[in-house]
Amino acid sequence: MNATKSHKRYSPADASSARFIEPQKKDARKIKKKVYERELAGLQIELVKLQEWIRHEGLRVVVLFEGRDAAGKGGAIKRITQQLNPRICRVVALGTPTEREKSQWYFQRYVAHLPAAGEMVLFDRSWYNRAGVERVMGFCTEQEYREFLRSCPEFERMLIRSGILLIKYWFSVSDEEQERRFQDRIEDVVKRWKLSPMDLESRVRWVEYSKAKDEMFKHTDIRQAPWYVVAADNKRRARLNCIHHLLSRIPYRDLTPDPIELPPRQEEKGYVRPPITDQTFVPEAY
């Protein structure tokens, strides 16, 4: 495709045919399933265009997803990546650090997952673990916590100066809605694995987590990398608003290839297929 071809520059309104998305209002309003699916499909088409622009321009994009347990971070990430190429857009969700990682510079294991040119990385929880769960649960010392609050803004400014596009989302969920989602996970066998002992402890320490979040925002909500809060009591609305906002943060052009014609398939002259009985098939249980 000719890279000099003229393409229309994206504007946030283009991603959604409807105009109902109003993040400033209470987000508990329901969205009909058909409307949600239509809007999501349109936004995902724009995400594919954004992906191609990131690859074409060699951009390096980092998106952080933070928030309380059951706030909807994972669901939003799934909808963002659903139609994207995992070679370009990948998800990083790190587990408990090893003993070796605990001895490293705190940011070291996260740096290893930063994007190269033409990549977008979505962190399902990130270095902000230190300001949240590690702080509340006592997994770090007071000195380590205070050092994080001092060094994190500088670390992020350094990433931005290097050319990385850094976008940070905090998914905000009410006490009542989190309670409802926890109960849903308890009752649903498919979702029960999502409820860890740490999640249950977070309920016990709700106020402590709130104070930790407030302190974190005070130190890390910087001009170069502000926190964007996603009202997440309504999952569908939160997903649409988050994707819509993400698209608006990275100006891009539509590089969709022109329609192509499939070439004719090679004729099977002289080729004899092996007997089908020589192959082992998956049993047709359905």
> Domain map of the chain by residue range?
32-252
**Interaxial angle between packed helices 175-187 and 197-204, expressed in degrees from 0 to 180 and rounded to the nearest 10:** 150
pLDDT of residue 28: 55
pLDDT of residue 17: 39
pLDDT at residue 14 is higher than 70: no
The span from the CA of 156 to the CA of 150, in Å, is 11
Q: In the CATH hierarchy, which top-level class contains the domain 32-252?
A: alpha beta
At 167-214, the pLDDT tens digits run 999 999 999 998 898 888 888 888 877 777 877 778 889 999 999 999
Residue 65 corresponds to which tokens in the numbers above?
């997803």
pLDDT at residue 266 is higher than 90: no
The span from the CA of 279 to the CA of 275, in Å, is 8
User: 155: closest CA among 197, 100, 106, 188?
Assistant: 106
At 136-174, the pLDDT tens digits run 999 999 999 999 999 999 999 999 999 999 999 999 999
At 17-70, the pLDDT tens digits run 333 344 444 445 789 999 999 999 999 999 999 999 999 999 999 999 999 999
pLDDT of residue 7: 42
The span from the CA of 149 to the CA of 261, in Å, is 56
For residue 14, give the amino acid letter.
Answer: D
For residue 77, give the amino acid letter.
Answer: I
Nearest-10 Cα torsion for 112, 64, 90, 249? -120
- Average of per-residue pLDDT across 279-284: 94
pTM for the full predicted model:
0.87
For residue 213, give the amino acid letter.
Answer: K
Distances, alpha carbon 22 to alpha carbons 26, 75, 124, 247, in Å = 9, 20, 25, 16
pLDDT tier, 2 (very low <50, low <70, confident <90, very high otherwise): very low
